[in-house]
Copies of this chain bind each other. A is one copy, B any other.
Amino acid sequence: MIYGGIEAGGTKWVCGIGDGHGELLESETFPTTTPEETIALAAQFFRNGRALGGVGVGSFGPIDVHRASPTWGQITTTPKPGWARTNVVAALRSALDVPVALDTDVNASALAELRWGAAVALKTFCYITVGTGIGGGAMVNGEVLHGLLHPEIGHMRIPHDQARDPFDGACPYHGDCLEGLASGEAIRQRWGRPGQELADKAEVWKLESEYLALGLMNVICTLSPQRIIIGGGVPKQSSLLPLVRHRLRELLAGYFDAPDLKQAGAIDRYVVPPTLGDRAGVLGAIELARSAAQHREP
């Protein structure tokens, strides 16, 4: 049996087909435009392929991930124009007539990294993406964390030294939350250019590492993950993760009694990029579909 998966991002959608063993048989990427157009392109991709056992979606959020909820499948309060209240699950189900599974993009990526990537054999870990926005997914004791809604790590509040960084923050809801200060969009607004064009500006990455280290500190204080995986476009700047790890150790200040957090060499294996790279999201989405099919009532 083969399954479809969509990494439904705010900037682009990645659609893929796989057999549930961590390999992509085929895939296609297109920009996220209107809900109608984007969902139609995805449906077209899957209709052209072989019969699918189901389609999984790892979506940007916030989304309603609770199956028992009347609004299950809906993208809820997103500031992305046109997308608030779009029900991705309902639209795909009616277009494709197959079962559709849903989770956040970051929970899907976490799932893929658990199966085939940087979190194999871990029970409790976190997957954070730093791209246009900042999102975080988590597994705790081997299960995906949803709780009341789902984690929204990007919207936590962190110290912001206005004297050092007078930028007010880019989040339309919270101003200078973590996402408002450290997302790719925040970098673009603060420095007037996207991060890819700022590779040689040391002050950009020093400041960025300060905010990300504060965010990771708070994740460690709250979720106590065994490892933190950081994906997304922004950490592709190769100087960034070493700066984040260094600053994080300073912030932790030796309080947390674990070699992973105290030793310079060990923290390199604690804060890591995704082993599956950019394929984590779509592979995780396929795994959502496979796992839902396996657990479905006959």
| Given known A-B contacts A159-B159, A257-B64, A140 and B151 have beta carbons under 8 A apart | no
Residues of A149-170 whose CB lies within 8 A of B: 149-160
User: How many angstroms between the C-alpha atoms of A39 and B256 in the bound complex?
Assistant: 25
Closest residue on chain B to residue A84 by CB atoms: B257
A77, A155, A173, A257 pick with most chain B CB within 10 angstroms: A257
| Neighbouring B residues of A156 by C-beta, 8 Å | 217-218, 221-222
A198 within 8 A of B: no
Asked if A43 is an interface residue, CB under 8 A from chain B, the answer is no
Residues of B within 8 A of A143 (CB): 140-141
Copy tally for this chain in the complex stands at: 2
Q: How many residues on A have C-beta within 8 angstroms of the other chain's C-beta atoms?
A: 50
A174 contacts across to B, CB distance below 8 A: 251, 253, 255
Q: Does A25 contact B (CB under 8 A)?
A: no
The reply to whether A221 and B155 contact each other, CB–CB distance below 8 Å, is yes
Contact A255 B77 (CB under 8 A): yes
Can you list 18 pairs linking A and B with CB atoms under 8 Å apart?
A76-B257, A77-B256, A124-B145, A124-B148, A136-B222, A140-B140, A141-B141, A141-B143, A147-B223, A151-B222, A152-B221, A152-B224, A152-B256, A154-B221, A156-B217, A156-B221, A156-B222, A173-B254
